[in-house]
């Protein structure tokens, strides 16, 4: 089998060029797209993720807010801040960067975000829409994987797709997107007996289990 390395950075640049045109079209109509990102605490990886998101917004002409709150922030204060952003007409997308401090309930936080502004796709309504095949917002990592397939002309219909990982952020939505593309989907995780046998059967394999070298 010939190995082909997919250049995700090059594909991202192409996608951003298209987004830049779309943002300019909106701006010409008097609508300046706006994203608000909330960070709670100073998790190092979160800082990197948010910095990249803010940079990407600037590159395509989207306004952005980087709202940082201390790790000791009471949940009621965070929910109140989300409520203000829900009502702000200048903000079209809201995301609260994971991971959260253990004092916060991710369920209550995600439910507080207006489903029409929930660009991470974590609100129960958006999760449900994805499950029934009418997605509005889709979690970014699974959507990014699907964009890679699309760009490279990799068809999923009729193929055996194996997903290793069962998280609400990657594994489950990844499996749903593949089902909707006509693939036969097997979902595994780190506890799956004889995982190697499952992954060897895959025509297309995506691993997102958070455990290095799980697949050898």
List residues with catalytic annotation: 53, 97, 120
Cα–Cα distance, 101 to 72 (Å, whole number): 8
Q: Which two tokens stand for residue 14?
A: 């192409």
Q: Which two tokens stand for residue 3?
A: 């190995």
Cα–Cα distance, 126 to 131 (Å, whole number): 9
CB atoms within 10 A of CB 57: 21
Cα–Cα distance, 172 to 9 (Å, whole number): 25
Cα–Cα distance, 95 to 73 (Å, whole number): 17
Cα–Cα distance, 87 to 80 (Å, whole number): 11
Q: Nearest-CA neighbor of 39 among 91, 81, 83?
A: 81
Compute the residue count for the chain. 216
123 close to 110: Cβ distance less than 8 angstroms? yes
- Which helix (H) or strand (E) element contains residue 36? strand 34-40
DSSP class of residue 22 equals H
């Amino acid at each position: 089998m010939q190995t082909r390395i997919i250049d995700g950075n090059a594909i991202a640049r192409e996608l951003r060029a298209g987004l830049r045109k779309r943002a300019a079209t909106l701006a010409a109509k008097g609508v300046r797209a706006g994203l608000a990102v909330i960070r709670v605490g100073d998790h190092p990886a979160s800082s990197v993720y948010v910095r990249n998101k803010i940079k990407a917004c600037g590159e395509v002409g989207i306004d952005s807010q980087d709202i940082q709150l201390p790790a000791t922030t009471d949940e009621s204060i965070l929910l109140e801040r989300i409520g203000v952003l829900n009502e702000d007409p200048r903000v079209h997308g809201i995301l609260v960067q994971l991971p959260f401090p253990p004092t916060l309930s991710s369920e209550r936080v995600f439910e507080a975000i207006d489903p029409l502004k929930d660009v991470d796709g974590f609100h129960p309504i958006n999760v449900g829409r994805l499950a029934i095949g009418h997605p509005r917002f889709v979690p970014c990592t699974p959507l990014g994987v699907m964009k890679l397939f699309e760009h490279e002309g990799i068809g999923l219909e009729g193929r055996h797709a194996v997903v290793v990982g069962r998280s609400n952020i990657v594994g489950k939505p990844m499996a749903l997107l593949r089902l909707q593309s006509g693939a036969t989907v097997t979902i595994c995780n780190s506890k799956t007996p004889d995982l190697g046998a499952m992954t060897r059967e895959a025509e297309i394999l995506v691993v997102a289990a958070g455990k290095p070298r799980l697949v050898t």
